[in-house]
Structure 1
């Protein structure tokens, strides 16, 4: 999830666990610690572009890391912050639950995270929520702002914070239910159209959980389609993208390609533009694929030597203005009428 959402959830958890004991400081500590797993972004200074993509949400997003760091920080904090109201166990509890919430949110997105590292390279992803979803974030924002800027009152503060946590948690449950429903609809449409596939996945489009992209996986390529829960028809218009594995032959021994394949978990297609060859990770979707089947993919890695891939994952590659893109997205969320 985005930094703001992690910060707000951490702040809400801090208030819930230690707010009565240490007041607004609990919000600050929860917000601060909640973003600790994303320290892996510092890898950009010492890793190659492909290594950084794989390192992100790697070991710092593992059970091993959060257990170790929670115990260590809990022990150190009791010496740094002299407060008789909070013991070592309370600090450790705060840090562990806050860090665990970070892992939970990130596991629901499509990026994937190495939850069992360093013991396994398996990357977990449930694809039920987009990396930034205002419907989830706004209740947390209200629930945290009231106790932070308002008058401290234990009952009133706890009430608003609890309401924010409850509403946002129910929204996460809603996204899981919608995900399962959309998966059934889109997969059934594939079968009815007699389109072959080995595996099928759905993932939400930007900023919402009402409009989804579905994609298949097989050795030759992928089928991609879009569906809004407000569509009048359940027949999905799928389009085919060939995988074009043969274009990767010159790179078959390259560590860069190995990293990208591991990251994508096999969900990729290769495209060529003039002299540039691109490795496209399908899981992150297209920038505006519901308007143009040939639109660029959000994660498009230039395989050419010395290419700059610092922003290979960029969901903001709009060809039109941001306003036009947003209007287009909202109109498509409303659903197709036939």
Structure 2
């Protein structure tokens, strides 16, 4: 999640647990402590894939952060013991402040290595966008009250309520996600495909509009857009994911690492003799992905060679955000998914898409 959300979450937790003893200092300490895991962004890596897949790594490990909470508790009790409460309360405040950062991150689509140094696929529950004002607002109000009026009883109760409301909202997003995911898989089945896996995540800044990627047994991925206010059928776009192209670079460790990190939610395209891999989980969809990388080049003899990965394009068109916001309220104007894909050079044949007035014909 964004840094502001993490800061006010940490401030609210410290306010709820030790705010009555430390007032404003609890809010400040909680905000600072809650942002510590994201300091890994200052580290430099040799290529963007390594940088992407290393973020939310060791500094987001539940093991590492639990150890840090224990260390800080011991140091605090040795240096500045407070007779008003015991070490267990202090540890609880520090531990919750630290571990809720990666746990909240895991509810986004990026991928968080909660069990580092173990290497299961990073957790990406994907029920909330990285910036969600509905989640953040109660925590922000509680933090501002704590900073303004200190540890008064009413302020501490507000921290309790803020944490309860934000957690309830998070649970609601999981419920909505399950509902949307089920609808998307049913939609793809209606198209004649057999779903084998799916990944459903909210679109930009809202939980009123969702994008589902449904993988099929035909090597085709279908993207389905679902709005909670829809009065018409969801638009969709299906295209081959071209996973066979990865066979051209069987020893590319960076590519293998990206496929592991993303749970293999990637697609491949060839453009101008470049092999491009796209992470399907993040972005506006249908080619407008946040992370696209060149991982190979083709020579004059049509042979492929691995290259040091570098970013390829990426969506930075704010018109896409506007289109998404309009789509929330106007389901009768479907997003032109096929147009978007072809505009950026995605290989879209064969593909199957719902047609709109602005969509290119099959």
Scaled by the length of structure 2, what TM-score is found?
0.81
Structure 1 residue 273: deviation in Å? 3.2
Equivalent in the alignment of 1:333: 328
Matched, 1:63 2:66: no
2-side partners of 1:283 and 1:263: how far apart?
11
Equivalent in the alignment of 1:125: 124
1-side partners of 2:197 and 2:247: how far apart?
25
- The equivalent position to 2:170 in structure 1, one of 169, 172, 197, is 172
Scaled by the length of structure 1, what TM-score is found?
0.87
Q: Secondary structure of the equivalent of 1:198?
A: strand
Cα pair distance change 1:181/1:272, threshold 3 Å: same
Q: Secondary structure of the equivalent of 1:272?
A: strand
Q: How does 1:246-257 map to 2 (within 5 A)?
A: 246-257=244-255
Equivalent in the alignment of 1:75: 74
1:244-268 Cα shifts (integer Å, max 9, x gaps)? 2343344221211111111121111
Task: Kindly indicate whether the alpha-carbon contact (under 8 Å) linking 1:226 and 1:236 is maintained by their aligned counterparts in 2.
Answer: yes
* Matched residues, number: 322
1:217-249 Cα shifts (integer Å, max 9, x gaps)? 24623111211011113x333212222234334
Q: How does 1:258-297 map to 2 (within 5 A)?
A: 258-286=256-284, 289=285, 293=286, 295-297=287-289
1-side partners of 2:174 and 2:204: how far apart?
16
**Hey, which bits of structure 1, 4+ residues long, moved more than 6 A?**
none
Equivalent in the alignment of 2:344: none
Matched, 1:299 2:299: no
Cα pair distance change 1:184/1:246, threshold 3 Å: closer
Cα pair distance change 1:125/1:326, threshold 3 Å: closer
Q: Secondary structure of the equivalent of 1:117?
A: coil
Unpaired runs of at least 5, structure 1: none
1-side partners of 2:262 and 2:279: how far apart?
6
Structure 1 residue 8: deviation in Å? 0.7
Root-mean-square deviation (CA, aligned residues, Å) is 2.3
Matched, 1:154 2:152: yes
1:196-237 Cα shifts (integer Å, max 9, x gaps)? 32112211111111100011224623111211011113x333
Task: Kindly indicate whether the alpha-carbon contact (under 8 Å) linking 1:278 and 1:303 is maintained by their aligned counterparts in 2.
Answer: yes
Structure 1 residue 25: deviation in Å? 0.7
Q: Secondary structure of the equivalent of 2:282?
A: strand
Cα pair distance change 1:225/1:179, threshold 3 Å: same
Equivalent in the alignment of 1:32: 32
Q: Secondary structure of the equivalent of 1:224?
A: strand
Unpaired runs of at least 5, structure 2: 297-306, 334-362
1:156-207 Cα shifts (integer Å, max 9, x gaps)? 2123322322221221121111111111211111222222321122111111
Matched, 1:91 2:90: yes
Structure 1 residue 78: deviation in Å? 3.0
Structure 1 residue 335: deviation in Å? 4.0
Task: Kindly indicate whether the alpha-carbon contact (under 8 Å) linking 2:50 and 2:254 is maintained by their aligned counterparts in 1.
Answer: yes
